[in-house]
Amino acid sequence: MPRAKRFEIAGRVIAPGESADVQLDFSESYLGRAVSIPIRVIRAKKDGPRLFFTGAVHGDELTGIGIIRELLYGEPPKLKCGTLVCVPVVNIFGLENHSRYLPDRRDLNRSFPGIQTGSMTSRVASAVYREIISLCDMGVDFHSAAVRRTNYPNVRADMRNVAIRKMARAFGCELIVNSKGPEGSLRREACKANIPTIILEAGEVWKSEPGVVEAGMRGCLNLLKSLDMIDGDLVPPLFQVTVEKTTWVRAQRGGFLGFHARPGDLVEEGDTLATNYSIFGREQNNLTSPITGIVLGMTTMPAVKPGEPVYHVARLSEPTYRRIKRTIERSPAGGAYKRLRRDLATNIRLES
């Protein structure tokens, strides 16, 4: 039998069959004390893929913390092979400071792979990249929508790459957005270095929503099953579609919105998505969908100024739209897709 490959992280060698919590010292506090990233490593006896799950690269996006917690809580997955590296919080400074960014106001997710002697953010990126990401063969990075917006859970992946495409499909979200991601993002830079990586964009900032956690958990387990790292059949989504083009529907007038659609809803070209009222309730205009598609995300704040984004719609071809519509109509009321749509944007008052 060939000798198992060595796996060392944060100065600690993880033996085959061992699980361990390690701390990666990546920076220092004002008091000169080490600041570290907590990491759970689960290693099977048998060699196999080394997979990372990362959360809170944006410090205000707790989606990944909730999903990874659920995955590890109680009975963590029993790996048949390979290594799982779970990092619930990458951006420790951001989370602790209630911020998407780092204290130097840079975006960590535009700073990978980072420079060891660079700016504060660049150094953090470099430590995370060298000490965690580059030890792995593939990974999933968890995000949520920007502040005051929500996303229907969707995987973003560079679908031209076979390995990435396989991961994206296996994860099992209804929606996959084909994109490479911005320069300097963890995903794009990892993919460039031949570490296939996808992201999940789901829900709102500062929340760990039940439907999002459920979708994320299902995705993580599906991926582990597809890699034969755990036993079990994949749980497929109600439907799955890869979208190439998305568009933002923006407010035309300053006012207060009544919403007519929620994330995950199918919409036809010309459908009214929101009605814009004056502050005293006079109807000002309707915002309509310029395309036929599915609502990927939306604002959660009803007050708008001209140009502010209201709905993010992904384009679907006519046949795909009809196929998905039929599938949804036939699906049970308590099914995962319908439950998830109800769970999202729960604080939004919908008008009929």
CB of 106 to Zn ion, least distance (A): 14
- How many residues at the interface with Zn ion, by CB under 5 A? 3
Window of 13-21, 85-93, 136-144, 305-313 that interacts with Zn ion by CB under 5 A: 136-144
Helix axis angle for 162-171 and 210-226, nearest 10°, is 130
Which residue, 10 or 145, has its beta carbon nearer to Zn ion? 145
Cα dist from 160 to 157, 168, 177, 245, 263, whole Å: 9, 11, 12, 15, 26
Asked whether position 143 contacts Zn ion by CB under 5 A, the answer is yes
Closest to 275 (Cα-Cα) out of 264, 265, 261: 261
312 DSSP β-pair partners: 248, 297
- The Cα 300–Cα 147 span in angstroms is 9
Cα dist from 347 to 10, 149, 195, 271, whole Å: 42, 12, 38, 23
Q: Which pair of structure tokens corresponds to residue 36?
A: 């570290």
Window of 55-63, 236-244, 274-282, 305-313 that interacts with Zn ion by CB under 5 A: 55-63
Q: Which residue is nearest to Zn ion (CB)?
A: 143
Window of 15-23, 56-64, 208-216, 301-309 that interacts with Zn ion by CB under 5 A: 56-64
Helix (H) or strand (E) holding 63: helix 63-72
Q: Cβ(40)–Cβ(54) under 8 Å?
A: no
Which residue, 42 or 133, has its beta carbon nearer to Zn ion? 133
The conformational region for residue 10 under phi > 0 = left, psi -120 to 50 = alpha, else beta, is left
CB of 286 to Zn ion, least distance (A): 31
CB of 64 to Zn ion, least distance (A): 9
Which residue, 9 or 175, has its beta carbon nearer to Zn ion? 175
Window of 44-52, 90-98, 142-150, 172-180 that interacts with Zn ion by CB under 5 A: 142-150
Which residue, 58 or 312, has its beta carbon nearer to Zn ion? 58
Cα dist from 31 to 185, 211, 292, whole Å: 30, 40, 55
Which residue, 48 or 59, has its beta carbon nearer to Zn ion? 59
Q: Which pair of structure tokens corresponds to residue 311?
A: 């709905």
Which residue, 58 or 165, has its beta carbon nearer to Zn ion? 58
Distance of CA 321 to the CA centre of its chain: 24
Asked whether position 262 contacts Zn ion by CB under 5 A, the answer is no
- The Cα 294–Cα 289 span in angstroms is 10
CB of 143 to Zn ion, least distance (A): 3
Window of 12-20, 57-65, 219-227, 329-337 that interacts with Zn ion by CB under 5 A: 57-65
Taking residues 14 to 53 in sequence order and writing x for each that binds Zn ion by CB under 5 A, - otherwise, the string is ----------------------------------------
Which residue, 61 or 204, has its beta carbon nearer to Zn ion? 61
Within residues 58-117, the interface with Zn ion by CB under 5 A covers 58, 61
Asked whether position 123 contacts Zn ion by CB under 5 A, the answer is no
- Using the structure block, give the residue that is written with the tokens 């205009």: 285
Chain residues in the site for Zn ion (CB under 5 A): 58, 61, 143
